């Protein structure tokens, strides 16, 4: 497979580009402009340290509530190394490698703007990690989402100084073992570097970027699978007519109604006379429910597009203005609120999906109970709905907003935090659950369509069923179903 090169520069990075770089066969390279920016900033900072005795937070002072402790010039390197080691306090599950890859890209991107004062060698080592497939072991829990993602980013950067652990070619190495294996020397931090690496929102941003891309994918699947369920349930098309939505013109609602109508346009089932005058809300209100989630997803994606193109460490160094400003760009409040919003929007796609699954197995609309020809001796699709209900219930619990909480830290200096990292972890879990919920609906709707034969659904949906049947065959009689659910999840993720 061809290896492509992405040049890190000040140019805007889209969510799709960043995701593609992380997921594909890409190498990273710093642009000449990025290198010049970083070298200029570092030279300014070094000159400032040599010629001024003025205290600058995190450069020649302690951290957090220890900001009033001055540090001698001889101890500035040790100060930064101690910072990274002492802040590596993560726990819980390991962050998936697909997210760690995004963290590396976003950390490099943020530092490359030239407002952080890092050495070029330090950033190039992070580039080497990405290019060589070296993924630091990072843990989910430990970040409060203000002062950035301190603990996770400490784990991300520990291997730079020969500590921590990495995954490389399927094996686990300590930071010192990695350096020996690669023939590298440990990075020797200079003033401010450890703080620049640890202050930042890259855990929240990486999860948010992952969630934003998968949200679009899941939204599209929810519409397509929802349309299949409408036909499987012998539903009506009238609730999707444009005139209905033009008199309540929410953009998401209009978009979904149009998409469902387009998907079902060539269906024989949707055109046949109906015995019922209306459908349950889980079918009839797809435009209103899916459409609201669509608008939420679009909003969140705009927030993260801004974030991944920003500088989020502290203090910020402005060489041209001869200023070093201690501020709060590491605060994750915009991300925390957005991640909570996105989690709720995705959970609702699962909530309404499970209701459609329930309706399809209920024995209504001339469909057999649990969608098997001989119910009784066969339980059919009775229990997958239980699984979907369990996942939906868990998602509802994950919808409790992390951003509504704040716990004082650093002896009162950091007295309001975003809890955005917890919001980020929840979004990832809801996404995995939603793939399973929609996979179960796809199994159910595909099974139900078979009982509508010889009538056909639309060309789009017949193609979907045909492709899906290659991995999940029609259920003639009871079989072990967890394998079908796993296959359905893999199908949704791969297509």
Which two three-digit tokens encode residue 204?
A: 């929240």
Q: Is 92 helix (H, G, I), strand (E, B) or coil?
A: strand
Angle at 405 between CA 404 and CA 408, to 5 degrees: 145
Give how far the C-alpha of residue 175 lies from the chain's centroid of Cα atoms, to the nearest Å. 27
Alpha-carbon gap, residue 195 to 79, rounded angstroms: 10
Among the listed residues 307, 348, 414, 441, the single catalytic one is 414
Among the listed residues 54, 93, 281, 474, the single catalytic one is 281
Query: Has 57 been annotated as catalytic?
Result: yes
Alpha-carbon gap, residue 39 to 52, rounded angstroms: 20
Mode of pairing for the β-strands spanning 134-136 and 165-168:
antiparallel
Among the listed residues 124, 199, 351, 395, the single catalytic one is 199
Query: Has 281 been annotated as catalytic?
Result: yes
Nearest to 210 by CA among 20, 477, 418: 20
- The residues near 290 (Cβ < 8 Å, ≥ 6 apart) are 219, 222, 223, 226, 252, 256, 349, 352
Quick one: which H or E segment has residue 234?
Answer: none
Among the listed residues 57, 113, 135, 233, the single catalytic one is 57
> Can you say whether the dihedral through the CA atoms of 386, 387, 389, 390 is positive or negative?
positive
The owner of tokens 């004062």 is 117
Judge whether 361 and 441 are in contact, CB under 8 Å.
no
Among the listed residues 113, 304, 330, 468, the single catalytic one is 330
Give how far the C-alpha of residue 13 lies from the chain's centroid of Cα atoms, to the nearest Å. 16
Among the listed residues 284, 309, 318, 462, the single catalytic one is 284
Query: Has 330 been annotated as catalytic?
Result: yes
By CB atoms closer than 10 A (0-12, 13-18, 19+), residue 5 is exposed
Among the listed residues 87, 125, 214, 255, the single catalytic one is 87
Say how many C-beta atoms besides its own lie within 10 A of residue 394's C-beta. Answer: 15
**Active-site residue numbers?**
57, 87, 199, 281, 284, 330, 414
């Amino acid at each position: 497979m061809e290896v492509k090169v992405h040049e890190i520069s000040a140019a805007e990075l889209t969510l799709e580009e960043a995701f593609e770089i992380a997921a594909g066969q890409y190498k990273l390279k710093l642009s000449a402009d990025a290198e010049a920016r970083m070298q200029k900033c570092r030279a300014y900072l070094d000159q400032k340290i040599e010629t001024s005795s003025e205290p600058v937070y995190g450069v020649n002072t302690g951290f957090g509530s220890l900001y009033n402790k001055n540090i001698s010039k001889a101890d500035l390197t040790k100060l930064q190394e101690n910072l990274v080691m002492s802040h590596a306090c993560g726990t819980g599950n390991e962050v998936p490698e697909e997210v760690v890859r995004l963290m590396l890209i976003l950390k490099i991107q943020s530092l490359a703007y030239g407002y952080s004062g890092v050495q070029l060698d330090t950033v190039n080592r992070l580039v080497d990690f990405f290019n060589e497939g070296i993924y630091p072991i990072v843990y989910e829990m430990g970040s409060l989402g203000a002062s950035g993602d301190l603990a996770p980013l400490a784990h991300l950067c520990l291997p730079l100084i020969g500590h921590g652990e990495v995954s490389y070619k399927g094996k686990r190495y300590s930071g010192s073992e990695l350096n020996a294996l690669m023939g590298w020397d440990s990075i020797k931090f200079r003033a401010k570097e450890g703080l620049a690496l640890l202050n930042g929102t890259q855990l929240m941003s990486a999860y948010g970027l992952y969630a934003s891309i998968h949200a679009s994918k899941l939204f599209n699947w929810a519409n397509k699978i929802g349309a299949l369920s409408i036909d499987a349930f012998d539903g009506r098309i009238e609730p999707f007519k444009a005139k209905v939505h033009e008199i309540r013109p929410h953009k998401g609602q209009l978009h979904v109604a149009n998409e469902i109508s387009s998907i079902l346009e060539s269906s024989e089932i949707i055109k046949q006379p109906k015995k019922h005058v209306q459908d349950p809300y889980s079918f009839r209100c797809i435009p209103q429910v899916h459409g609201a989630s669509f608008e939420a997803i679009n909003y969140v994606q705009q927030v993260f597009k801004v974030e991944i193109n920003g500088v989020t460490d502290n203090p910020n160094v402005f060489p041209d203005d001869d200023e070093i400003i201690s501020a709060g760009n590491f605060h994750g409040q915009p991300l925390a609120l957005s991640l909570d919003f996105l989690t709720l929007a995705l959970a609702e796609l699962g909530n309404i999906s499970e209701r459609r699954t329930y309706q399809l197995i209920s024995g209504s609309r001339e469909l057999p109970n649990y969608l098997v020809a001989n119910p009784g001796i066969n339980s059919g699709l009775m229990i997958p709905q239980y699984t979907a209900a369990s996942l939906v219930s868990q998602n509802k619990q994950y919808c409790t907003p992390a951003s509504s909480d704040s716990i004082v830290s650093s002896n009162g200096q950091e007295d309001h935090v975003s809890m955005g990292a917890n919001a980020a972890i929840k979004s990832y879990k809801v996404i995995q659950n939603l793939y399973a919920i929609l996979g179960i609906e796809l199994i159910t709707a595909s099974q139900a369509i078979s009982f509508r034969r010889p009538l056909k659904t639309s060309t789009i949906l017949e193609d979907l069923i045909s492709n899906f049947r290659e991995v999940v065959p029609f259920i003639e009689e009871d079989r072990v179903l967890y394998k079908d659910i796993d296959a359905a999840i893999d199908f949704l993720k791969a297509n």
